[in-house]
Structure formats: structure tokens, C-alpha cells
Structure 1
Amino acid sequence: MITTRTLSNGVRMVMEEMPAVHSVAIGIWVKTGAVDEEKKYAGISHFVEHMMFKGTENRTARQIAGDVDRIGGAMNAFTGKEATCYYVKTVSDHYREAADVLVDMMEHSLFAKEEMDRERKVIGEEIKMGEDSPEDVAHDKLIEALFRREPLGNSVIGTRTSLNRITHNVMAEYVRTHYVRDNMVISVAGNFDPEEVCDYFQGTMLSLGKTGPARERSVGSPAPEYHSVKRDIKQSHICLGTRGVNLADPRSYAMSVLSQLLGGSMSSRLFQNIRERKGLAYSVYSTTGSFRDAGYFEIYAGVANDQVKAAVEGIREELDILASKPVEEEEVRSAVEQMKSSYAFSQESTSARMIVNGKNYLLLDRVFNEEEVLEGYNNVTAASLEEVKKLICDFSRYSVSVASGVKVNRKSVMEE
């Protein structure tokens, strides 16, 4: 059962009890990410996330890690386009000690200059790691193209130049402005006492501001773009994408099912055509991504450098077939069952439930219970797929990004 509550300090709580487990996952979600950044300070949300682990008024960086290790916990964080999440998972008896560390980080982080200088180097290595992953390069270029001139097109990690502009004062002001109580959700999942947890968090975050700035909404539909990046690699990594549906769109279930049957498994159409019949790729798949106000659909294939054109033609072939022929109900039901199973597997993890509940409550001010999700998938039919087909079957609307060992000509992959 999922319950929500707004505490007297203004912080919102979303809680899911799982009495059969012995652990609890606690996440502090902050509605700040790449979409909230000035271009000159690109990557500041991610930089802040790193710095939250580098020492507070009460703990050194080593003590932050040690206090969580001492209770057998696991702690981490991540930054996205629209939100940042700090989380810890531990056995239920130690939830308070784990929460104490997270709260200390939120309220008392120092952002010391010498630590910032060191962490810039760490993030610089993280940037290099991303640049060394051609699949990530192709994906990032695609998302940038799909959301050109919109906040969702902003880079999460930033650049070396933008990171160098972020001083202690710039970071402190960003945190003061964005790390405020009405921008926060605390998500808890596992074995715990809701009243006890709420009583604990009731007295926290009081040193933070109450309200933050309004967020610019992401709207638009840019013209298709083509990007080719040459790397010293043996394979070409192709990402093709178009705009999809947002987090709250009721068509999201149909879109997920459509993506699943097209490229979500070994029996999917893309896998069977591109890999099994044509032998062009080891890895080929489709996926969806959703934000508060927008979304995307993406197809990826990793192929030999001289097979890019053939792979794209095979993908277009499958999109044309999907557009021209109704999907058989048997294929729909198979994809539905795969999506329901994936959802059921995720429900067995306290961390996964904490994440999905926290994200939805932070961005949509609502949560989706198990019955609602399963009903959403069960209601998908061949007829309901016809509407979402229109969003993904027109190849002329696709942007394309290729990271390759050779120069890949636009005309070989884009419809002119």
C-alpha cells in the first residue's frame, strides 16, 4: 500500500510498506536537474550531487561513507534531467542512522573549495569515460537533437569549461535557491513504521528555504537532425529517435508495449530481422523515455562500419511493416505479459519501488499503485496501438545520431 503525506515542514512523503522484507530504502528527491541550469553553469546539479558526499559541518567525507558502512547500508545518488535523488538502503532497524546521514548532507554540506577543485577532476574523468563509450555518445547527441532549444536538451554532466566556472559561491547560491522544502519529496519503501518515519522527518530540513523558482516547461517539436561522430572504434553505433509521450500520458502503456514488441526482447521484430535474419548486429533494441512534459522513442543498433546503411534500411523496413499492418492480438498479449513481468520483478526491490514512487510524486504529484499499472497494461489492445503507431512509424520525423569508426554520410541513413 502506498500512502502520501505533507509534513508540517512542507516536505512531502511517499511511503510504501513491504512487511515481508527486512530492509528499507530511503530516498531524498530534489526537483532540480539539467533543465534548471544556465548554460554557462551546465552540469551544476550533477556537481552538487558529487559535493554532497564531500563533507558536512558534522562529518568528513570519510565519516559519511563510514557511518553508512558501519550499519551495513549502501548509499548512492544520481542526477537526471529533472531531478536529483540521494538514497540509502539498510536493514530496517538502522533506518534512523541512515536517514541522519542523508539529512546532514542536505542541511550542512560545506562545498569546500579544495574539495570542489578535486571533484572537478573526478567529473572530468567521468566525462572522459562517457566520451569513450560510443553508445553513450550517440544517445546523448540524439537526446540533444530531439530537445533542441528546450531545457530537456541540456547536458546533465556539463563540460570541462562550464565546470570550471562553478565556484563555491555559485554552487552555494544554486543550492540555496533549489534545495528548498517544496522542491523535495522523501520516498520510503520497505519494512518500517510510517508514523515513526514521519515523526523523524517532521523536524528536519528546517534550515532550508521553503519555496524555489518556477520551472520552465519543456514544449516544442524541432526539425529532425543528423549527427555523425567519428571515433577510433571498430563498430558503428546508431541511435534513431522521435518524440514520444510524457510521464502522465495514458498512452504510455500502449507506447511501452509497442516498443517491447518492436525491439524489447529476443522475439521482437527488430531482433529477429536485424540480428537473426540479416546478421547485421549483436545488439539492437528499442526503448522509451518519459519526462514530465515530453518523451521520446529510440532505436539503437551496433553494427559493422560498412553495414550502417543496411541496418537503417532494415529498421525502416520494420517501421513500414508496423505502420501498414495491424498487430496480431497474440503478439500484443505476449508483449503485455513481458511488460507486466518486468514490472512485477521490479516490485520485489525496495530500492526500485522507492525510486519509481519518488519520481512520480515529485514530478506529477501522484503515484501509480500496482492495480492501476497492471490494469493499464491489460487494457492495451491491437486497436489501441494504432494511435501510438502514428508517433513512431514515420521515419521522416526521426533524428539520427551515429558514432562510428568511419565518416557516415547523412544521405546513407536519412530520408531526404
Structure 2
Amino acid sequence: MYRKIVLDNRLRIVAELLPTLKSVTIGIWVNVGSRDERPGEEGLSHFLEHMFFKGTRSRTATQISREIDALGGEMNAFTTRETTTFYVKVLDQQLEAALELLSDLFYRSRFEPKEVEKEKQVVLEEIRMVQDDPEDLVQELHMKHTLGSHPLGRPILGQAPRIQALGRKDLVSYVGSHYDPERTVIAVAGNFTWKRLESLLARYFSASHKGVAVKPSRRPPEVRGGVLVKRKSLEQVHLCLGLQGLSAGHKDRYAAHALNGVLGGSVSSRLFQEVREKRGLVYSIYSFLSTYSDGGMTTVYAGTRPKEVERVVEVVCRELKKLRTNGIDAKDLARVKNQMKGSLMLSLESSHSRMSKLAKDELTQGSHVSLEQMIGEIDRVTTDQVYRVAQTLLDQRCLAITALGPIPANSLQAFAS
């Protein structure tokens, strides 16, 4: 059972009762991420996510950690290019304690200067960790290469010089200008009673906004083609091939997911079968969709030996061309539909995943989309619709290729349009 509630301060609450569970997950989703940072603020959204756990007016960072452990639950946060999320998952009888703790962090964090300085070192280590992970690094390089100066192309973590320059004043100002109740959604999924939930949420989350809210200003991204090679001493060359994508709420999004499933979304996909199983050129190859409020990307990732790079790119481009020219047949469509429905239903078996879906639906579409509605949308996808989407998304005239590893800088220029 689903309900939406809007508090007097305009904060939206979306909740789903799942009485068969013994857990409840609460998430605070703020519609602000790395793309909303202005020049000089790069990495601030993610840094703030860390700082909310570093002490409030009534709790130290250690007390916060001990308290969530004592509840037998899980508390964490994450930042994306468009949202910042704080969540807690506990047993249903711990609902009030969890809400009070989340409220304390969200409204009364102190951002003490000494904690800011300590956390800078933690985030700098996180940045170094990405630099040491070639699969993460090539995807970060690929976003910047493909989207250029667009804010979506920036790394979520920011760059070391910007992080080192941050101070408490920057954090307080950013919260005041972006953490407006109208840009905030609280999602709750699990076992609870409606009357008690509404009472607790009104008690702990009815605070008014104290800052001067900045109106969101976002412009759609534009995918650019071309080749970028970054030389690095590695055993493999890590590749990303990027193409056009669709926005999160686009009417053809289910067809795009079906297309991606056939292309590289599973072990039965064309890329996995052609590049790995038939030719043994890679260990890892897959494709995925990146969807945002106003645009998106389709990306293929692969890791291979330096001498096989051009062959891998050639095979991938050939499969892209086949799909764009011929589309998929009824057998492919039936298989990928079953795969999509199975993945969807299995992914929604926990209160955490249900909570995430509630929030994403509200933020991207402004309404709840039931599991039955999603299954119906998948069932309505046709081969003609997938073919039409392939015409748009798999146009290699805007193909962007990013390579990281020990290969010459001009080795992939032949694939540039």
C-alpha cells in the first residue's frame, strides 16, 4: 500500500507499507548533486554527505556510530550527479529511534572546522582510490571526455585542490542554498503503522528552511564524439565507448533498457557472447545506461590486452551497427523482457530497494509507478519500438571512445567519425 504526504514545510513523504517484512528503511533524498555545483564548489555535495555523520549538537561522530550499531541497523549515505541520499535500515520496532537519529543528523550537524580538516584527508584517500582502480578511472575520464565542460561530466568526488580549499563556511552556505524542503523527499518502506509514521515524521521533519534557496538551474547534456587515450602503465587497456542515451523519465526508456539488455546487459548478450565467449578477447565486457533528469548516455565497457584493443573496438562497433541496422527479433525481445521482469521483481524484495524506487519515482516523475505498471510497460515494448530507439542511440557518428592503458595516443583514431 502506497501513500504520499506533504508536510506544511512542503517536504514530500512517499511511503509503502510492506507488512510481511520485519524491517523498515527510511531515506532522505535531496535533489542536489555534483551537477548543481558552481565553479569552485566541485566535490562539495559529496563532501557534505560525509560531514553530516561527523557530529551534531547532541552527538559526537563516535556516538552516532555506536547508536546505529546498538539499534542493530545500517546507516549510510551516497551522492550521485543529481541527488544526495541519507538512509537508515532498522528492525520495525526501532522506527522512532531511527527517525530521531536521521533528523538530528539532517538538521543539527555542526560541521566543526577540526572535523572538516580531518574528513578532507578521508575524501582525498577516496579520490586516490579511484585513481588506482582503472575500471573506475576510465569511466570517470569517459564522462569528462564525452560531456566536456557540462557539469554532468565532472567527477562526483571533485579534485584534490578544491577539496583542500573547502571550509565550514562553504558547507553551511551550500546547505542553506540547496537543502530546501521543496527539493527533499523522504521515502519509507517496510513494516509500520500509518498513523504512527505520519505523527513521527511531522514531529521530526517539519522544520522550516533557514537559508536562501537557490532555484535549480540545469541544462541538458550533449554527447560528443571523438577519441581520448590516456597512457598508463597497466596490464590491460580499459575501454569505454559512449553513445547517446535517454532521460530517466523518457517514454521510450523501457525499450532502451531492452536494447541494452540485448547489447551487453547480461552473459547472454551479443557483446558478451561475441567478444568474450567466441573470441576470448576479454574477461569483462558489458553495457549500461546512465539516465538523468534531462538526458543520458549509453556506454560499453571492456578490458583487454593492449594488442587486442583495436580488434575489440572493431567487434563492438560491428555489433552496434548490426543492432542499428536490423534491430532485434521476436525471440530476442521475449528473452530480454523475461530478464527485465525477473531482475525487476528480484531487485524489489528488500525494504531498502523499495525505498529507493519510491524516491526515484517521485523525483523523476512526480508520482508512484507500481510494479504492475512497470511490468505492463515492459510487456508493451515491441520490436519496432526497439528498432526506432536503436536508430537514435546507436548512431556511431557521435561515438566517443576513451582508453586507459599502455597504447599509443593515436592508436584508435581510425574509429573516430
Q: What interval of TM-score do these two structures reach, taking the shorter chain for normalisation?
A: over 0.9
Q: Normalising by the residue count of structure 2, what TM-score does the alignment of the two structures yield?
A: 0.96
**In 2, Cα distance between equivalents of 1:212 and 1:242:** 35
CA displacement, residues 57-109 of structure 1 (integer Å, 9 cap, x when unaligned): 01000111111111101000000111100000000000110111111011110
**In 2, Cα distance between equivalents of 1:38 and 1:66:** 36
Post-superposition offset of 1:325: 1.8
**In 1, Cα distance between equivalents of 2:324 and 2:96:** 54
The question of 1:172 aligning with 2:204 is answered no
Post-superposition offset of 1:115: 0.6
Name the counterpart of 1:8.
8
User: Structure 1's 321 and 390: CA in aligned 2 closer, same or farther, altered over 3 A?
Assistant: same
Post-superposition offset of 1:154: 2.6
**In 2, Cα distance between equivalents of 1:14 and 1:211:** 25
Identical-residue share of aligned pairs (%): 32
CA displacement, residues 185-207 of structure 1 (integer Å, 9 cap, x when unaligned): 10001111122112111133415
Name the counterpart of 1:387.
388
Name the counterpart of 2:284.
283
Mapped contact 1:81–1:156 kept (Cα < 8 A): yes
**In 1, Cα distance between equivalents of 2:211 and 2:198:** 18
User: Structure 1's 11 and 43: CA in aligned 2 closer, same or farther, altered over 3 A?
Assistant: same
Name the counterpart of 1:155.
155
Name the counterpart of 1:80.
80
Give unpaired runs (5+ residues) of structure 2: none
Name the counterpart of 1:108.
108
The runs of at least 4 consecutive aligned structure 1 residues that moved more than 4 Å come to none
**In 2, Cα distance between equivalents of 1:163 and 1:360:** 32
Instruction: Count residues with an aligned counterpart.
Output: 416
Aligned AA for 1:70? A
Aligned AA for 1:127? I
Q: 3-state DSSP class of the match of 1:248?
A: coil
Mapped contact 1:14–1:187 kept (Cα < 8 A): yes
Post-superposition offset of 1:2: 2.3
Mapped contact 1:2–1:17 kept (Cα < 8 A): yes
Name the counterpart of 2:346.
345
User: Structure 1's 110 and 207: CA in aligned 2 closer, same or farther, altered over 3 A?
Assistant: farther
**In 1, Cα distance between equivalents of 2:189 and 2:76:** 16
**In 1, Cα distance between equivalents of 2:136 and 2:414:** 19
User: Structure 1's 354 and 65: CA in aligned 2 closer, same or farther, altered over 3 A?
Assistant: same
Post-superposition offset of 1:148: 2.3
User: Structure 1's 287 and 413: CA in aligned 2 closer, same or farther, altered over 3 A?
Assistant: farther
Post-superposition offset of 1:415: 2.9
Post-superposition offset of 1:146: 2.9
Mapped contact 1:182–1:212 kept (Cα < 8 A): no
Name the counterpart of 1:121.
121
CA displacement, residues 393-416 of structure 1 (integer Å, 9 cap, x when unaligned): 222211111111333425456234
**In 2, Cα distance between equivalents of 1:364 and 1:211:** 26
Mapped contact 1:9–1:202 kept (Cα < 8 A): no
**In 2, Cα distance between equivalents of 1:111 and 1:210:** 16
1:185-264 superposed matches below 5 A: 185-205=185-205, 206=207, 208-209=209-210, 212-264=213-265
Give unpaired runs (5+ residues) of structure 1: none
Name the counterpart of 2:92.
92
User: Structure 1's 331 and 45: CA in aligned 2 closer, same or farther, altered over 3 A?
Assistant: same
Name the counterpart of 2:296.
295
**In 1, Cα distance between equivalents of 2:132 and 2:69:** 32
Mapped contact 1:25–1:188 kept (Cα < 8 A): yes
Post-superposition offset of 1:155: 2.2
Aligned AA for 2:40? K
Name the counterpart of 2:333.
332
Comparing 23-32 with 205-214, which one deviates more in the overlay?
A: 205-214
CA displacement, residues 125-156 of structure 1 (integer Å, 9 cap, x when unaligned): 00000001111111112222332232222321
Aligned AA for 1:374? I
Taking only aligned residues, the RMSD between alpha carbons, in angstroms, comes to 1.5
Post-superposition offset of 1:122: 0.4
Name the counterpart of 1:396.
397
Post-superposition offset of 1:54: 0.4
Mapped contact 2:228–2:403 kept (Cα < 8 A): yes
Aligned AA for 1:131? Q
Aligned AA for 1:325? N
**In 2, Cα distance between equivalents of 1:415 and 1:224:** 7
**In 1, Cα distance between equivalents of 2:416 and 2:150:** 25
Name the counterpart of 1:143.
143
Aligned AA for 1:71? L
Comparing 93-102 with 220-229, which one deviates more in the overlay?
A: 220-229
1:345-384 superposed matches below 5 A: 345-384=346-385
User: Structure 1's 413 and 275: CA in aligned 2 closer, same or farther, altered over 3 A?
Assistant: farther
Post-superposition offset of 1:369: 1.0
Name the counterpart of 1:57.
57
Mapped contact 2:244–2:297 kept (Cα < 8 A): yes
Q: 3-state DSSP class of the match of 2:186?
A: strand
Name the counterpart of 2:314.
313
Mapped contact 1:32–1:45 kept (Cα < 8 A): yes
Q: Normalising by the residue count of structure 1, what TM-score does the alignment of the two structures yield?
A: 0.96
Q: 3-state DSSP class of the match of 1:59?
A: coil
Mapped contact 1:329–1:382 kept (Cα < 8 A): yes
Aligned AA for 2:406? G
Q: 3-state DSSP class of the match of 1:152?
A: helix
